[in-house]
Amino acid sequence: MKQLGRLRYVGVTTSHGRRHAELEKIMLTQPIDFVQATYNAIDREVEQRILPIARERGIAFIANRPFQRGSLVDWAKKHPLPGFAREFECDNWASLLLKFIVSHPAVTCAIPATTRLDHLFENMSAMRGIVPEQKMRETLVKYIAAL
């Protein structure tokens, strides 16, 4: 179908950390263009195998459930924005959480869902400013784990 021009990209998706072993097997054996799986500052299992394989094989990675369907960002917003958010060039929790995801070198994009325009603006602001380095990313993970 690709050769006929009927499909441009072929990939597989999963979520909630399900069936990563199967996903990995497909990535290693099939000529796919992208995968989609859950990745955020709490759900980080894909950092072990899936993201390194994606990077190595040039497979695009789409991060779903970036806010754990809202519960992660709702919970984060109950706490003050950390001082180091300034270094991330983020002025809200949603963009901080999204910048963590899209700054991983193997991540192609994150797909936050929203029904609200004000949330859309917050989320889109993650596309501005610096791309945090690994050390900064780890600071965020540790901060969230300690909250």
Ligand X SMILES: NC(=O)c1ccc[n+]([C@@H]2O[C@H](COP(=O)([O-])OP(=O)(O)OC[C@H]3O[C@@H](n4cnc5c(N)ncnc54)[C@H](OP(=O)(O)O)[C@@H]3O)[C@@H](O)[C@H]2O)c1
List the beta bridge partners of residue 61: 35
State which residue, 52 or 70, has the beta carbon closest to ligand X.
Answer: 70
Q: Does 125 bind ligand X (CB under 6 A)?
A: no
Residue 95: name the closest of 63, 74, 119, 64 by CA: 119
Q: Which of 98, 28, 18 is nearest to 59 (CA)?
A: 28
Site residues (CB under 6 A) for ligand X, limited to 24-53:
36
* Sole binder of ligand X in the list 66, 132, 140, 144 (CB under 6 A): 66
Q: Which of 11, 68, 84, 87 binds ligand X (CB under 6 A)?
A: 68
Q: Which of 4, 5, 31, 115 binds ligand X (CB under 6 A)?
A: 115
Interaction of residue 54 with ligand X, rule CB under 6 A: no
Single residue of 19, 119, 136, 143 touching ligand X by CB under 6 A: 119
Contact between 9 and 33 under an 8 Å Cβ cutoff? The reply is: yes
Question: From the list 6, 8, 116, 142, which residue makes contact with ligand X (rule: CB under 6 A)?
Answer: 116
- Span from 21-29, 53-61, 109-117, 132-140 in contact with ligand X (CB under 6 A): 109-117
Burial (Cβ within 10 Å: 0-12, 13-18, ≥19) of residue 141 = middle
Spell out the alpha helix ranges (H) of 5-104. Answer: 20-29, 50-57, 71-76, 85-88, 93-102
13 is a contact residue toward ligand X (CB under 6 A): yes
> What is the C-alpha separation between 88 and 9, in angstroms, rounded?
33
Residues that bind ligand X (CB under 6 A): 13-15, 36, 64-70, 73, 94, 111-116, 119, 122-123
